[in-house]
Structure 1
Amino acid sequence: MATPLPKKILFVLCLARLGEPIAYSVIFPFINSLVEGLSIVKDKSHVGFYAGLLEGAFSLSEILTIYFWGSLSDRIGRKPVIIIGLSGTAVSIVCFGLSTEFYQLALSRALNGALSGNVSVIKACLAEISDETNESRIMPMFNLMWSIGLVIGPLIGGYTSKPAEKFPTVFTSPFWKIYPYFLPCLIGSSIAFLSCLVTLFFLSETLQSKKRRDAEAILAAQIEQVPLLTPSPSTNHLPISPSSPIPNALTSNPPPETWTLKQILGTVSIRVVLLSYFFIVFLASSFDVLFVLFSYSAKKRGGLGLSDAKIAQLLMAGGVISAVSQLSIFPPLHRIFGTSRLYRACNGAFVLAFFIPLVLVVLPSSNTNGSLSGWEWGAVGMMVMVGRAAFLAFPLSMIALNIATPSPSALGSVNSINHILACISRGVGPALVGALFALSIKTSNPCRTGTWSGVKNGFSRVHYDDDDHREDHRPPALIVQASLPAPIPRSSTLPVSVPGTVEDSNSDGKGGSFQRSRRREEL
């Protein structure tokens, strides 16, 4: 029987996740026009360079600080780190809207990136409130909120920038002419601040060791208030019986160990999942770039020659397919096939998605007027569906990483390392695939890009399926039990008590515990 979803905590975490992508993407529609008006830009051809520097400042500061936030959440709890991140995001985007010089914009963007460490912390929270019966319903929410935020943010930025020009009867103050991009930044900041307030008042701490330390502090304060010596015979003893849970709460659960970076990277199972995720992100970001390039390029250059409107419609359809598949199709598929088999299938879907453009290039079109024929549109539709189906590898990677992490005290740090690798992969993948696509057009060999990506996909599968060096973090007794020749049903589980955790008996699904059952079927 599936564990009920912790709806309250899940809603708060989704709202917290939604605030950051909105604040991040709200500047996209007007960033080029904003940079063009700066005094440092002498030539319009340099606009792209300076806009790229601003995004580089965000990414660099995020990479340099995200491990700190993740490891900090392992020590002081998830909730305070999420609050710091959201409040910092709200302040930084307001500063961006009030900036009139390039260095001010760069500092604001760098501050935004430096305080965007919630991605790893929220992932850790989702792991702590889920178990193997409901994780397939919880994990897709993370990527869904990011996608929704990337839709809402640009809409806010596009429709509310330069309000003095678009709504002259409402925004009559000279302030809106001096700072024409402040309004969208203010709206994005308000959403982040609202998320911060909701987190502050309604999010329960999910890190079990933090819950225990808070309980110990309360108990210690209560003990200090009990009079040890009183003249009354009815109160000459402490009102604590030997069977009281207080001594057990103070002594039976030692503080969790602190995992260092060396210890985390020294765990083979974590390295396997991290490396596999690096290539999954590489393939996903490369596919997005390759799809747009392939759709836009003229047919004589090996593309489809589609208009901007058609490309936008295909991208929107892909977004809808992705949302529906993650919310409705992914949970039953995960229950039927499990993490490992479904992950391999997603890798195979990437191979097919990269192969379809090669078929469209090699096979001749039945239309001579340059438009796409019926079978070509069918192939394009299949490419969109298969490509978005392959994106189910993202929630699967989150589940795999949660299982591979040996201790709840390492969840924040491990997810931070995972995000750092994702940032690097998103930077390398699109640039490299774009260069290969240009090379394939130049050499009249459009097969190079797809073939090369397929090789990388195979490399990702090899590393993910390499079980010969997997480390088993279960207690020795369970390892011996698992090695017995007696057949065990596929659905059976072996309970594992992770050192430093507290047994959580929340039967109503409103709390989370990382004391999960390890699957008999390894990843």
Structure 2
Amino acid sequence: MLVLAICRICEPIAFMGIFPYVYFMIEDFHVTEDASKISFYAGMVTSAFTFAEFSTGLLWGRLSDKIGRKPVLLTGLAGTALSVLVFGFAPNLTVALLARAIGGLLNGNLGVLQSTVAELVTAKEHQPRAYTIMPVVWCLGSIVGPMIGGALARPCISYPSLFPPGTIWDKYPYLLPNLFSALVVLVGVINGFLFLEETHAQKKMQRDRGLELGNWILSKFMGFRKCTEPRDEKTKFSDEIQPLIDHDEQLPTYRTNDNTPVNSPRLRSASVSTIPQDSLDLTQSKDLMGVGISQTFTRPVVLNIISFGILAFHTMTFDQLLPVFLATAPPKDKVEMSLPLKFVDGFNLDSKTVGIILSIQGAYQLLINMFLVPKIIGRFGALRSFRFIAVAYFLLYLVTPYLVLLPPGYRMIGLAVVLAWKCTFQTIVYPSNAILTADSAPSRLALGTINGVAASTASLCRAFGPTISGILYAVGLKSGYSGLAWWSTALVAISGAVVGLMLPDPASRSPSHDDNTNAHDRDVEVAE
């Protein structure tokens, strides 16, 4: 999980790093002289990544079911590195959109990461803690990314003594933060290549030369030698064996201390003739890795995917709208105000301040992820936690646009309350949905496909969210209803509440279904 977390943290740094300066980047491209339209183009930049990610999300998910999680994760990281480099050199909007699309096409890590965590952590009592680890990592990236993006963007303006005008930093004012992001992603690729272990049930015992090299490197350091020592197979997999055999029974295939992938007894025993072939060669027997489409995409799975997509739509809308909302200047011409709906104003903050605010938001998310979220999900369960937040989410979007009506001295206090509200909801609802999706899956061998579809659905919704909200925000500024985009997002959140209330409890599935699923998974585990 630690190695996986180091790989994961690279992406929020790269993804969130553009938010503090994307408004000013669009200004510098001179694609429009109308300040009210900048939000639309900023939404396009955000959506380019997610549209492209949608088109390949299912492909990467299914590919991870066939070749393993590790190669797909490393490919996604490499694609992110290429994307941020091109984005840093972007001279115009077209290249910027192309750069973001490259990142989305080559990155299917959202669904694959969910599958990897589900394969690592199967005990229900560990799920609340385990499923908050990746959100904690995202929060760390959300702290570093905006802070670096806001601080390093346009260095010739922010630090003229260090970056004099006329240099490459003047020609490409947004290159520096993207170089930093690319360097971080490169560290993540190296970390994953050397130390990330495969988790796919059928692929994890194949030889991994990168992991062998990483173990050799660790063996040269005194403090890490124990990490590379072979462990007894029976001890290593005792959690898998224990439910399947009596205490006095020995499985002959686990009587070796040789833990090398080539000679692994788990790999050799996969050819045992007593195990049904359709449990062993899952890529050939049915449509989706051993499970047919109708058996894979059951009603609970489909409802969880839909709820995940709706959630992605309105939360990404908030994330994209907020920096634009904070950077928007008050209108030059006074707009007639007619409360409660007609009003126009903005915070008029610079990129540094926006970056600091987003970083503080990430720090708060980190703290509650570590100390609050596992306790809440553990106490109330994933389903009740998800339903409560899904029902209450729309209130957040109703309230947010009214922050500009507060007296200047109270605006930041109001903003802090809204951000704490948003972060608390978001950090609870995503792990809850991930747990519900994993628990509703008919077989863990199809998790890559299920999470691939979920990731594609979320990417499509994330793509439409910023674009639609950008258009509505521009229309609202023009018409005098600056809350239009926020209130439209509230309607989407209400639809998410309806779907959330329809979600069944995974614990209520019929015993026969669970027995068949567990038996199927146990057959494959014994075979491996």
Give TM-score, length-normalised by structure 2: 0.68
Larger mean CA deviation between 306-315 and 332-341 belongs to 306-315
Which residue in 1 is equivalent to 2:189? 196
CA separation of 1:407 and 1:168: change in aligned 2, threshold 3 A? same
Q: Does 1:259 align with 2:295?
A: no
> Which one of the candidate residues 116, 120, 126 is aligned to 1:125?
116
Inter-CA distance 408–35: structure 2 relative to 1 (3 Å threshold): same
SS of equivalent to 1:419: helix
Mapping of residues 175-254 of structure 1, within 5 Å:
175-212=168-205, 214=207, 243=252, 246=265, 248-251=269-272, 252=275, 254=280
Letter in 2 for 1:271: V
The separation in 2 between residues aligned to 1:271 and 1:381, in whole angstroms, is: 36
Q: State the percentage of identical aligned residues.
A: 24
Give 1:123 deviation, angstroms.
1.5
1:287-323 deviation per Cα after TM superposition (whole angstroms, max 9, x unaligned): 6678889999998543797845799698766544433
Aligned counterpart, 1:420: 456
Residues of 2 paired with 1:100 and 1:309: CA distance? 24
Q: Is the 8 A contact 2:77 2:189 kept in 1?
A: yes
1:205 match: secondary structure? coil
Distance, in Å, in 1 between the alignment partners of 2:86 and 2:314 is 35
1:410 alignment counterpart: 446
Deviation at 1:136, TM superposition (A): 0.9
Cα deviation, residue 378, structure 1: 9.3
The equivalent of 2:10 in structure 1 is 19
Per-residue CA distance 1:433-452 (angstroms, 9 max, x = gap): 7849949x969999975974
Any gaps of 5 or more consecutive residues in structure 2?
A: 209-250, 255-264
Q: Per-residue CA shift, 1:490-523, capped at 9, x if unaligned?
A: xxxx965526642599xxxxxxxxxxxxxxxxxx
Larger Rg: 1
Change (3 A) 1:382 1:188: closer
Q: Cα–Cα, structure 1 residues 454 and 358, in superposed 2: closer, same or farther, change >3 Å?
A: farther
- C-alpha distance in structure 1 between counterparts of 2:397 and 2:43, whole Å: 28
Q: Measure how far apart 1:79 and its partner are.
A: 0.8
Look up the SS of the partner of 1:207 in the other structure: coil
Partner of 2:390: 347
Aligned pairs (5 A) from 1:49-68 = 52-68=43-59
> Which whole-Å CA distance do the structure 2 matches of 1:332 and 1:16 have between them?
26
- For residue 275 of structure 1, what is the aligned residue in structure 2? 306
Number of corresponding residues: 444
Match of 1:326 in 2: 369
Match of 2:144 among 124, 144, 152: 152
Q: Deviations over 1:88-140 (max 9, x none)?
A: 22233223334446554443332122112112111111111112121111212
Distance of 1:174 and 1:291 partners within structure 2: 32
Unaligned stretches of 5+ residues in structure 1: 1-9, 216-241, 480-493, 506-523
Q: How does 1:362-511 map onto structure 2 within 5 Å?
A: 371=407, 384-391=419-426, 392-429=428-465, 435=472, 438=476, 452=491, 455-465=494-504, 472=509, 475=512, 478=515, 497-498=520-521, 501-502=524-525
Describe the shift of the 1:159–1:502 C-alpha distance in structure 2 as closer, same or farther (beyond 3 A): same
Bigger fraction of residues in helix? 2
Return the letter of the residue paired with 1:337. Answer: F
8 Å CA contact 2:54–2:458 kept in 1: the answer is: no
The CA deviation at 1:156 is: 2.4
C-alpha distance in 1, partners of 2:282/2:166? 56
Q: Does the Cα contact within 8 Å between 1:474 and 1:496 map onto a contact in 2?
A: no
Match of 1:510 in 2: none
Q: Which residue of 2 aligns with 1:77?
A: 68
Task: Tell me, in whole angstroms, the C-alpha distance in 2 between the residues paired with 1:92 and 1:291.
Answer: 24
Classify the secondary structure of the residue corresponding to 2:300.
helix
Indicate if the aligned counterparts of 1:349 and 1:390 stay in contact, CA closer than 8 A.
no
Q: Distance in 2 between matches of 1:36 and 1:382?
A: 30
* 2:115–2:451 contact (8 Å) kept in structure 1: yes
Deviations 1:50-76 (A, max 9, x none): 655444432322111122111111111
Contact 1:88 1:115 in 2 (8 A): yes
Contact 1:164/1:176 (8 A) holds in 2? yes
Cα drift, residue 388 of structure 1: 3.5
Cα RMSD of the aligned pairs, angstroms, is 4.7
Q: Cα distance, 1:169 vs. partner?
A: 5.1
Residues 175, 79 of structure 1: CA spacing in aligned structure 2 closer, same or farther, 3 A cutoff? same
